[in-house]
Amino acid sequence: MKQITVSTSKRQELVDITDDVKKIVKSTSVKNGVCSIFTPHATAAIMINENHDPKVCQDIIDCLNKLIPAGKWKHDRIDNNADSHIKSSIVGCSQTIPIKDSKLMLGVWQAIMLADFDGPRERTIFVNICEEK
């Protein structure tokens, strides 16, 4: 298992971690298997989507903000970040990607992103590679 650390600079942002994950896969001798990516934070998530056009990332954040507005939830009375918890729960804290011929089987436009919904913070991501037997 390997670890990636990402420092975010905004309250809500999507950070492309694809190259970091690819380097980890390349550093192993795994030809075929799966790559599991997990973040242990209650207000962050791991997503796969397009990152070629940065407007897609902003559209995702804008959509989630319309669906889950800040400042109207019971948990906000504690630390004013309930919307971040809900967004993280909906998007999910992990993704699994097949590995074939030592490469992640991502689509042409797909990227792996850390979604931070309560930054800026330092976030940890764990990457685990399992070889097909």
* Domains of the chain, first to last: 2-131 (2.60.120.460)
Is 55's pLDDT higher than 90? yes
pLDDT the model gives residue 86: 98
Is the confidence at residue 97, as pLDDT, over 90?
Answer: yes
pLDDT value of residue 118: 98
- pLDDT 10s digits, 10-49: 999 999 999 999 999 999 999 999 999 999 999 999 999 9
| CA separation for the pair 114, 72 (Å, rounded) | 25
Number of other residues whose CB lies within 10 A of the CB of residue 90? 11
Task: Round to whole Å and give the CA distance between 92 and 44.
Answer: 8
d(CA 126, CA 69) in angstroms, rounded, equals 29
Question: What's the rounded mean pLDDT across residues 84-107?
Answer: 98
pLDDT at 76 over 90: no
Distance CA 77, CA 80 (A): 6
Q: How many residues does the chain have?
A: 133
